[in-house]
């Protein structure tokens, strides 16, 4: 096996191992021990890195491997570490989500085009403003956040934090837009993270939960697709800002370690 390919596979294996730790062990739930759709973690971070650094094929494979291995690791550790939640039954839909976290960034960062930063900046602004509007809607209509595991104070806390974070994102984008490209995260990265969240968390995961995982095939059931969306929309700015604050630095460090150009794409 050529040394370059061996180094690539070794790096990907290391990132997958780190991703499993981040996803299954280093996580925060609010309130504690709540269901997974109110969980915060950086588990997908390493999959995104693999997709950007090595392309969509490696990113897709890394996502599948990390999700499957992570399921068994979490199952084993849930009986040993009290803060690790048992994952329940394995479901291939969540594996597809993980694969998309390697595929979509890999595709977007594989090719460049003229004025792409300007295009991604406009798209990112549109999505960020939409996030702010959505967070404010649910702040003033707390009753729309239907989650039996959250009380009124907890819903209000999450909604307020979401509005603050969404405001921070818009202010941050305005400030960063004034800086040189080399000193700020690329808008392509923000756009990638936002699209990933929309596709996986707002669309696919509620479908997996309602129509497949829980076996509810009717909108008349207690759990429905639309009931799951509000809490995910409120959570969206927090997840995206968390990843955006970490991913650019790790990408530069990874490129430096691999002997590549360390600046963002």
Residue with tokens 């309602």: 210
Cα R_g (the chain), whole angstroms: 19
51 falls in which pLDDT band (50, 70, 90)? Answer: very high
Least confident interval from 5-9, 182-186, 209-213: 182-186
224 falls in which pLDDT band (50, 70, 90)? Answer: low
Average pLDDT over residues 16-35: 70
Best CA proximity match to 170, nearest among 225, 130, 214, 199: 130
- How many Å apart are CA 93 and CA 105, to the nearest integer? 19
Helix (H, G, I), strand (E, B) or coil at 77: helix
Identify the CATH class of 1-111.
mainly alpha
20 falls in which pLDDT band (50, 70, 90)? Answer: confident
Q: What is the pLDDT of residue 117?
A: 78
Structure tokens at 237: 């700015």
Q: Most confidently modeled of 20-24, 133-137, 182-186, 210-214?
A: 133-137
Q: Evaluate if residue 150 carries a pLDDT over 90.
A: no
- How many Å apart are CA 246 and CA 46, to the nearest integer? 11
Domains of the chain, by residue range, sit at: 1-111, 115-245
Give the global pTM.
0.80
pLDDT tens figures, 53-82 = 999 999 999 999 999 998 888 888 767 766
29 DSSP 8-state letter: E
């Amino acid at each position: 096996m050529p040394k370059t390919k061996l180094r690539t596979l070794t790096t990907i294996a290391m990132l997958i191992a780190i991703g499993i730790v981040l996803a299954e062990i280093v996580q925060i739930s609010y309130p504690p021990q709540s269901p997974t759709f109110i969980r915060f973690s950086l588990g997908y971070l390493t999959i995104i890195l693999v997709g950007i650094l090595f392309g969509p094929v490696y990113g897709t494979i890394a996502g599948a491997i990390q999700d499957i291995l992570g399921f068994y690791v979490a199952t084993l550790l849930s009986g040993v570490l009290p803060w690790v939640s048992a994952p329940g039954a394995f479901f291939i839909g969540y594996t597809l989500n993980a694969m998309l976290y390697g595929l979509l960034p890999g595709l977007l960062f594989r090719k460049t085009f003229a004025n792409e930063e300007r295009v991604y900046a406009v798209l990112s602004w549109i999505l960020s403003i939409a996030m702010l509007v959505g967070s404010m809607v649910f702040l003033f209509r707390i009753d729309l956040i239907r989650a039996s595991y959250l009380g009124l104070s907890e819903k209000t806390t999450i909604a307020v934090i979401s509005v603050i974070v969404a405001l921070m994102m818009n202010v941050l984008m305005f400030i960063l837009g004034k800086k040189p490209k080399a000193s700020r995260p690329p808008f392509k990265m923000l756009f990638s993270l936002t699209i990933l969240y929309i596709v996986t968390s707002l669309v696919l995961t509620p479908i997996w939960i309602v129509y497949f995982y829980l076996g509810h095939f009717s909108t008349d059931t207690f759990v429905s697709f639309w009931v799951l969306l509000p809490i995910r929309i409120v959570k969206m700015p927090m997840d995206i800002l968390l990843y955006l604050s970490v991913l650019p630095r790790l990408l530069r460090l990874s490129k430096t370690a691999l002997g590549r150009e360390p600046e963002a794409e």
